[in-house]
Amino acid sequence: MKTHLWMLPAVALGSSMSAGALASDATLSYGQLKTLLDSAERYGFNRYEKLDVDSEDNRFEIEGWRDDGWELDVSMALDDGTLMRESQRRSTTPDWSLTGDELQQALALAQNRGMQRFAELEVDSDGHIEIEGYNAQRHELDLDLHRDDLSTDNLDVSDLGNQGESG
């Protein structure tokens, strides 16, 4: 499996913003992420292209598709998953998009590689997946992998959101 994991020092965006504030304010714990993904599934998502935490607007943004082929672009409140904005259009679900199981596998792999706080996931039309977040030391982690490398035989996704993380 080809994966690349880069650890980058967290860069403060302003003189008063620390790396710790950056890591906690613009990211989610895996428990929070699981709750929001459960809401997305209830909304109808079954294929995914992008997940993004927008703490500035207190939103979790999701782009993907329903099983009937409609493309969805929604924003949910970070604190409770309330639908804040939605856009739908008739589309064809691309083969390169991630299924719910593949999404869970990719997130579990990132967590197993030390990612404690989630910021963003994006998959492109070539099947390349980039996951961004932070480790316990608040260093930025970027994980690059390919959709074809995901396998339920290699990953245990049962612990997603259950590894002693708070809030």
Helix or strand holding residue 133 (H, E) = strand 128-134
How is the chain split into domains, by residue range? 4-149
Does 159 have pLDDT greater than 60? no
Contact 3, 151 (CB under 8 A): no
| pLDDT (tens digit per residue) in 109-134 | 999 999 999 999 999 999 999 999 99
pLDDT of res. 151 = 60
Does 23 have pLDDT greater than 90? no
- Is the overall model pTM greater than 0.75, yes or no? yes
Q: Nearest 10 degrees: CA dihedral of 68, 48, 74, 17?
A: 180
